Structure 1
Amino acid sequence: MRKISLIFLLLIPFLLVAQSFNDEGMMDEETGRESTPSSPALGLGGTLGNILIDGTYYTQFRFQPEITIWKFGLGLDIDLLIDSNGNVRKEDWDSWDDALSKLYYFRFAQRQDPFYFKVGSINDYTMGHGLIFDEYSNMLHYPNVKPIGAYVGTNLKSLGAGFEVFTHDVSKNEILGGHLYIQPLKPTGIPIVKNLKIGASIGMDRDPYGKYEDSDGDGYPDVYDKFPNDPYYWLDTDNDGIPDNMDIDLNGNSILDHPSLNPYVNSEFPGIADNYPNYPFDTQVYPDEAMPIDQSNEITIYGLDYELPILNKKSFGLSHYAEYAKIEDYGSGIIFPGFAARFLIFNLNLEFRSFKDQFLPGFFNHLYDEQRSQVVYTTIESENGRRCYSLKTKESELAGVTSSLGWFGSLKANLGNFAYLRVTYQDMYNDSKTKGKSLWGELTVIPNIIPKLQEASIVYGQSNVDYISFDTLRNENAEIGGKIVYNLSSSFNLALRYNEYYRDLNRDGKIKGNDEIIESMSLGIEFQF
C-alpha cells in the first residue's frame, strides 16, 4: 500500500517537468461555466443547522472556505457536529485522518487540459465510456465518511497521447483506475481520422471488504464482531457481554445448556451429562454464526475503447465511439456502435450494448461504495431466531447474470437559467429475466417566477435491476435525493437536502426498517461571502 501511495506522489513532479501549462480558461465542475481567475478569489461559505447521520440528529456548524488562484483551487470542509446532549461528535476529530478529511478539494485545471489533478472529494468519476467507472463517487457516505481521493493526468496534444490515474482514497488505495490513450493517425493530417483516439483502461478493487474495519485483526469485521478489540472472541448470541465460547447459557434463558450443544459447559463441569443424566439441560440451543472475511477477493476489470470525433461546430457536434470491457475471471461486454451528439442546449448519447454471461456495466458506479460489500444476515425463526452473519460483495452478483443485448441512451439539457435535465435509460433483454434495466433522472429547476425560491431539484435512479418497477421504488440498486433552496438575503439561503439509498440485510427482497434505509438529511442556513 505504501508503494502505491509513493507512486502517486512521484507522478506529480514527473508530470510537472514533462508538460507545460496553458493559459486557457478553466471550467467550473459544479456550474459548468468557464472562468479565468487571473487574480486570487476568496470565498467563505458554510451551513448552520441540523443534520441526520446514522439515525442521529446533530446541530452542525460547517465552514467551507475556498480560494482560487489562476487554475489552482482549494476548498476546506471544517465541521463541528453537536448531539442533543451538547457533546461534540468525537469521531470527526480523534485522528490524523480526521484532520486530513477537512480538505474538501485541492485541484489544478480540468480533465481536458494539458495537465491537471484533483485531490479530495470526487463526486462523479467516469472513465472511458462508462463500462468500468460510471459516475463513481467517493462521497456517497458524506459527511459521515470523507475519504481523500485523487486523480492526476495529462493530455499531450503535440504527441497525441495522454493518461490518467485515479484512487478513491490516497490513504488506502483500494479502488484504483488508470486510462491511457493515443491518437495514432494524428501525424497523417487526414481530416476526421487524424482525431481518432484509441484507449486502454483498468479498474480494480484490491479489497472489497476494506469498507469494514477489523480492529483486532481476527478476520471478523467490527460491524458484527461483538468484541471488536479482542481477537479471541466475536460472538455473543444473548448479548449478555459474555463471549459465546465462554458462556454456559448461550441463549440467555437462565437454563444450563446441554454439553453436547455447548462444549464450554463440559469444560467447566466435566462429565456433568453423565453424572446428572436427568438434569433439565437446555436442548434448544442455537448460537449465532458469523463468517470470517475472505482476504483474497480482489476484482479487476480491463477495457479497450476508441472515439472518432466527426463534427465539432459551435452549435452542433457528433462523434462515434465503442468500448470493450472484461471482468477478470468473469464475463465481458461491448458498446458498438455508440454515438454522441451535441445540438444547441442538448447532449445525447445512443449505444447498442452486448453483454456476455457474468458481466455488469459500470461496475464502479455511484452506489459502489455501499455495494462493494454489505452485511447480510439470515434469521432462522425455527431455531429461536438464530442469526447467521456474513458479508456479500457486488462481485457475488455476477454469477447469476446471463448474456443480453440492448440499448442505452442518455439526454442532457441545459435550459439556460431556468432548468437542468438529465435522463439515462438502459434496456437489456434475452430469453429470460436478466439484470440490466436502468433508469436514472435528475431535474433541477431555478424557478425565477417564484419569488425567493432559488432552486428545487430531485434525483432518482435504479441501476442494473431485473425490471424497473415504480411500485417498489426502494431496492438495493436505487437512490433518491432532493434539494430545496430558499433565498433569505443576498448572502443567506435556507436549504433542505435529503438523500436515501438501501440495503437488504435479511435478503428477503424487501426494503423496510431503519437498518435497511440509509438516509441523510440536513436543514439549515447556508451562507456565502
Structure 2
Amino acid sequence: MRKILAILFILLLIPVFLSAQDTAPRAVLAYYEDETQIEVLDSQNQNLPVSYGMSLQEGDTIRTGNTVAELQLEPNGSIVKLSRNTVFSIDQFQTSEESSNDFTMAAGKLRAIASRSGIGNRYRVSTPSAVCGVRGTDFGIVAVPGSSEQAFVNEGVVEFTKTATNESLTLTGGMAADALAATFEAIRLTQEQLQDLLEDLQFEELDPASVPGQEVAEEEQEEESEEEPAEEEVVAATDTDTSTRATGQDSEGGALDAGSEEERESALLNALGQIVGFEIGTITIDGDTWSKAVVMPNFEIGKLKMGLYLPFVYKDDMFDRSQWYRPEGNDEWSFGMDQDWSGDPLGAAQDLLVDLSLKIQYLQWGEQRDPFYLKLGNLHNMTIGHGTIMKNFANDLDFPAVRRVGVNLGVDKERSGFEAVVNDLARPQIFGGRYYFRPIGNFALGFTGITDIDPLSQADSENEAIAALDSMRFFSVGADMELPIFENDVISIIPFADVAAMVPQRDGAFEWDVLYDSDGESFIDSIRNYGFTTGLFGNLLFVDYNLEFRYYDGMFRPNFFGTNYERIRGTIVQETQTYLEDLENNVTGDYDTTVMGIFGGAHTVLFNLVDISAGYMWPWRSLDELNNPAAYNDEFTLSMYLQPEMADIIKVYGGIEYSRTNFLPALTGDELSLFDAYTTVKGEIVYPIAPTLDIAAVVSTAVQTEDGRMVYDQYGNPKIVPNITIETRIHF
C-alpha cells in the first residue's frame, strides 16, 4: 500500500513540474516579415534556425536587418516591437522580485508595452550611453550609434539614466529625452512628434490590449497612489488618456502643466540660445579690414538643417549705408529696390533672388544615399557618386568674403536615381550629375558627367600661353557600379568600382588626343589620362570608413573636383596647356606616368564630444620622386572638432580642418610649405567667458588678390595668405 501511495504522489507531482517548466521565463518570436533578413544568434554568436514561435533564451541576439519583428515575454505577457536595422539582445529574465528583465539595444528602434502585474514586470533596457528603468509602461527607444540615444514614453513612467554622468530623468507620458543631446533634459512631445515616433512601431500580430494590467481601473490607481504617496504626482501626470499625453492637454481640455513658469521661461531661452547667434568682429576681404556684425539663426528640425547669415559688414560707421561692403558691387540689402523694375523686370527679379540667396549660409535635408537629400548654400562636402570625379567639393573656401549658393541634391528610388550639383546658382560654372539604375536587386550601374565651363577665369592672365587662349573647359565623364552586401545603421559593406576620364576643350575644340594615342601598339596601350578606382565603403556601428585602390594615368587625378579645386583650377589650366603643347611637340612631360595607390579614410564621433575624421592616399612611388612635388600626388586630410560640451571639461572648444595634396613633398622640400594653393585650412578656438558670451579666434586661408585678381607665384600657383580674426559671439 505504501508503494502505491508513493507512486500516486509522484504522478501527482509530474504536472506540477511540467507546469513549472512551461512557466519558466522566455521570449517568443511571434512575428517577422522576411525570414531572409532576420538573424537570431545564441550566446556563442552562432546562428539559430528562425521560425515563428521559436523560444529565445538569455544571451540570444536578434538582428532585424531590412525587416521588423515582434516578441512576447512569457509568462508575464509583455510585448516588444523591433523596427528595421535593430540589434537587440536578451541579457536576463526576471525570476524574482529583486531582479529584472534586462535587455540591450546596440542600435535601431523598439517599442515595448510592459505588463503591470505579477513577477516579471521590471525592465532595464540599455543602450551604449544610457539605461531605461521601466515598470508597467508603453515606451520606446531609438539608438543611432554616436548620434542619438532617445527614450520616449507613450504611457507610464520611465527612469532614464545617462551612464557617463549618472544623471537621471523621470519621463512620463508624452515626454522624451536624448542621452547624446547637447543638453540632457526631458522635453514635451507634440502629438505629431509622438505619432511620428510610433509610426513604424505599430504591432501587426500581437495585441497591446492583451498585455496584463494595461487597462488599470480607477480604484486600482487610487490604491497605488495611497500605497506610494511619494510617486503621487508622477502617477497623476501619467494616468490620463493617451491622446491627452500626445497633445499636451489635460482631460478637461486645459493646457497640461509642463512645470513652473520659471521652467517654461528657461526652456524658451534655452531654445532661443540654440537658434540665434550673433557675432561682432572684423573680416579681411581683398586685403582690406572691415568691421562686421552678423546675426546667424540656426534651425534643426528632424532631417532639416538650416543656417542663415545676416551680415552688416562696414568700414567705420554701421549706420552709413555708403560704408557697407558690397560683394562684387552688389548692395545685398537692397532686395531689388535699387533696380529698374519697369525697364528691366528680369534683372530686378534676379537681383532680388541673389540678395535673398546670399542670406542662406546652408540648408540641408538628409544625407547622400537617403531617398531624397538636398544641400544648398555655402557647402564644403558636395560629392557625386563614389567621389572619383567629385568628392567633398567646396564652394565656401573664401566664405564669408565670397558667398555662394551651391546645390547638391539626389533622389534614390527603388530601381533608379540621380544626383546633381551646381557650384553657384547665381553664376554657374561647375555643374553636372549622375544617373544610375539597378537592373538586378541592389546591383547598381551609374554614369557621371561634370564640367567646368570657365576655369580660365581663375588662370594667370600674365602667362603668355594662357593669355593667348580664347577659352578652355574641362569635361569629366565616368561610369561606376556597386553591389551593397550590407547597408544599415549597424554595419554597411558596399563594394564599388569606378572608371573616369577628363577631356579638355580648348578654343572650342575637344582635345581627344588627351584620351587616345593613335600611335599605340594596342588599344590598351593607346588609352591614356584615365582613372580606375575600386574598394569598399560603409560603416561599422558609429565609424564610417572608406578603403580604395586607385590607378590613374597621365593628367587624370581621382577626386578631380576636390576640396581645393576652385583655388587650383587656374593652375590646372596651365598644366593642361603645357601638356597639350607637349603632345603637339611629341615631348615626354611630367604627366606621362602611371600612379597606383591606396586610400583609407574614417570618420566618427567619440562620446558626443569629439568629431574626428582623417584620410590619406599613399601612392606606390619611390621617395626619390619627392624631388618632383607636383607629380607625387599623395593626399592628406584631417578634421577634428571638440564639441561645445568639452568646454565643461577643458574650458574651450573648437577645432581645425586641414586638407592637402602633395603632402609629403611639403614636409621634405625647401620651397613648398604646409599652406599653399594645394592646401585648405580653417579652424577656430572658442572660449566661453559667460553663459551668453564667447570669444573666438578664427584662422583660415585665402587667395591673395590685387585689384580683384588672383596673384600667382613663379610656378603658376595662386598665392595663399592666412587670415586670423578675433570675434565676439553673443547668444541667448
Contact 2:392 2:563 in 1 (8 A): yes
Measure, in 1, the Cα distance between the counterparts of 2:360 and 2:434: 26
**Code of the aligned partner of 1:308:** L
Alignment of 1:184-223 (within 5 A): 184-186=439-441, 195-211=442-458
* Mapping 1:337-352, distance limit 5 Å: 338-352=535-549
Q: CA deviation at 1:292?
A: 3.5
Q: Deviations over 1:57-83 (max 9, x none)?
A: 222111122456675555321111122
Change (3 A) 1:153 1:505: same
Are residue 519 (structure 1) and residue 693 (structure 2) matched?
no
| Unaligned stretches of 5+ residues in structure 2 | 1-107, 110-145, 150-180, 182-188, 194-270, 333-350, 504-511, 515-528, 581-589, 705-709
Shift of 1:205: 0.1
1:439 is the counterpart of 2:643:
no
Which letter does structure 2 place at the counterpart of 1:425? Y
Question: Aligned pair in 2 of structure 1 residues 302, 506: CA closer, same or farther (>3 Å)?
Answer: closer
Deviation (angstroms), 1:128: 1.8
1:182-331 superposed matches below 5 A: 182-186=437-441, 195-211=442-458, 292=467, 294-312=469-487, 314-328=489-503, 329=512, 330=514, 331=529
Shift of 1:365: 1.0
Match of 1:82?
314
* Secondary structure class of the residue paired with 1:499: strand
Q: Give the structure 2 partner of residue 147 of structure 1.
A: 404
**CA distance 1:487–1:318, shift in 2 (3 Å):** same
3-state SS of paired residue (1:448): helix
Counting only pairs closer than 5 Å after superposition, residues 19-418 of structure 1 correspond to structure 2 as 43-67=275-299, 74-84=306-316, 87-91=323-327, 93-94=330-331, 96=351, 97-157=354-414, 160-186=415-441, 195-211=442-458, 292=467, 294-312=469-487, 314-328=489-503, 329=512, 330=514, 331-336=529-534, 338-373=535-570, 392-393=573-574, 395-396=576-577, 400-401=590-591, 402-418=593-609
Offset at 1:474? 3.0
Distance 1:474 1:415, change over 3 A: same
Amino acid at match of 2:422: T
Residues 1:458 and 2:656 aligned together: yes
Equivalent-residue separation in structure 2 for 1:316 and 1:334 (angstroms)? 26
Alpha-carbon distance, 1:208 to partner? 0.9
Q: Residue 326 of structure 2 aligns to which amino acid in structure 1?
A: K
1:163-197, Cα deviation, whole Å (9 max, x unpaired): 011111112221012011112112xxxxxxxx222
Aligned partner of 1:292: which letter?
A
> Which residue does 1:279 correspond to in 2?
none
What corresponds to 1:246 in structure 2? none
State the 1:395 CA deviation: 4.1
**What amino acid maps onto 2:309 in structure 1?**
D
Provide the C-alpha distance between the structure 1 equivalents of 2:465 and 2:601, rounded to a whole number of angstroms: 43
1:493 corresponds to 2:690: no
Which residue does 2:203 correspond to in 1? none
Instruction: Return 5+ residue gaps in structure 1 as ranges.
Output: 1-23, 26-30, 187-194, 213-219, 225-287, 375-390
2:616 corresponding residue in structure 1: 425
What is the aligned partner in structure 2 of residue 189 from structure 1? none
Q: Deviation string for 1:207-261 (max 9, x for gaps)?
A: 113458xxxxxxx97xx8xxxxxxxxxxxxxxxxxxxxxxxxxxxxxxxxxxxxx
Deviation at 1:460, TM superposition (A): 2.3
- d(CA) in 1 for partners of 2:370, 2:455: 33
What is aligned with 2:97?
A: none
Whether contact under 8 Å (2:647, 2:688) holds in the other structure is no
Would the alpha carbon gap of residues 456 and 67 (structure 1) be closer, same or farther in structure 2, given more than 3 Å must change?
A: closer
Identify if the C-alpha distance between structure 1 residues 483 and 312 changes in structure 2 by more than 3 Å, giving closer, same or farther. same
CA contact (8 A) 2:677 2:720 kept: no
Q: Structure 2 counterpart of 1:435, which letter?
A: Y
User: Contact (CA 8 Å) 2:423, 2:430: kept in 1 or not?
Assistant: yes
Distance 1:466 1:333, change over 3 A: farther
Structure 1 residues 61 and 393, CA gap change in structure 2 (3 angstroms): farther
**How big is each residue's C-alpha offset from its partner over 1:239-286, in whole Å with a ceiling of 9 and x where there is no partner?**
xxxxxxxxxxxxxxxxxxxxxxxxxxxxxxxxxxxxxxxxxxxxxxxx
CA distance in 2, matches of 1:290, 1:315: 54
Inter-CA distance 146–466: structure 2 relative to 1 (3 Å threshold): same
Cα displacement string for residues 144-175 of structure 1 (whole angstroms, at most 9, x for unaligned residues): 11111113331112xx2100111111122210
Q: State the AA in 1 paired with 2:492.
A: G
CA 516–84 in structure 1, closer or farther in 2 if over 3 Å, else same:
farther
User: Does the CA-based 8 Å contact 1:359-1:398 persist in structure 2?
Assistant: no
Q: Cα–Cα, structure 1 residues 407 and 468, in superposed 2: closer, same or farther, change >3 Å?
A: farther
In 2: Cα distance, 1:404 partner to 1:53 partner: 39
Amino acid of the structure 2 residue aligned with 1:208: P
Note the C-alpha offset of 1:110.
4.0
Deviation string for 1:445-494 (max 9, x for gaps)? Answer: 34737657341312223215683526632332123332111123344322
Q: Aligned letter for 2:433?
A: G
* Distance in structure 2 (CA, Å) of the matches to 1:49 and 1:64: 14
Task: Judge conservation of contact 1:458–1:482 (CA < 8 Å) in 2.
Answer: yes
1:343 to 1:103, Cα distance in 2 relative to 1, 3 A: closer
Q: C-alpha root-mean-square deviation of aligned residues, in Å?
A: 3.7
Aligned length: 399
Structure that is richer in helix per residue: 2
CA distance in 1, matches of 2:716, 2:409: 41
The letter of the residue matching 1:166 is V
2:164 aligns with none
Query: Looking at CA atoms only, which structure, 1 or 2, has the larger radius of gyration?
Result: 2
| Contact 2:713-2:719 at 8 Å conserved across structures | no
Q: Following the alignment from structure 1 to structure 2, what is the Cα–Cα distance between the partners of residues 72 and 341?
A: 23
In structure 1, what is the equivalent of residue 667 of structure 2? 469
Instruction: Return the offset for 1:143.
Output: 1.0
Counterpart contact for 2:688–2:694, Cα < 8 Å: yes
Q: Does the residue aligned with 1:172 lie in a helix, a strand or coil?
A: coil
Contact 2:476–2:502, Cα closer than 8 Å, also in 1: yes
Q: Between the two proteins, what is the percent identity of the paired residues?
A: 23
What letter is aligned with 1:311? F
Q: 1:168 to 1:291 in 2, by over 3 A?
A: closer
C-alpha change, 1:445 and 1:76, in structure 2 (3 Å) is closer
Amino acid at match of 1:303: G
SS at match of 1:467: helix
| Closer, same or farther: CA 138–32 of 1 in aligned 2, 3 Å | farther
Q: Normalized against structure 1, the TM-score is what?
A: 0.66
Secondary structure of 2:297's match? strand
Distance in 2 (CA, whole Å) between partners of 1:109 and 1:346 is 18
Distance 2:610 2:729 in 1: 21
TM-score normalised per structure 2 = 0.49
Q: Which structure ranks higher in relative contact order (CA pairs < 8 Å, sequence separation ≥ 6)?
A: 1
Q: Give the equivalent residue in structure 1 for 2:196.
A: none
Secondary structure, aligned partner of 1:135: strand
SS at match of 2:557: coil
The CA distance in 1 between the partners of 2:477 and 2:533, in whole Å, is: 14
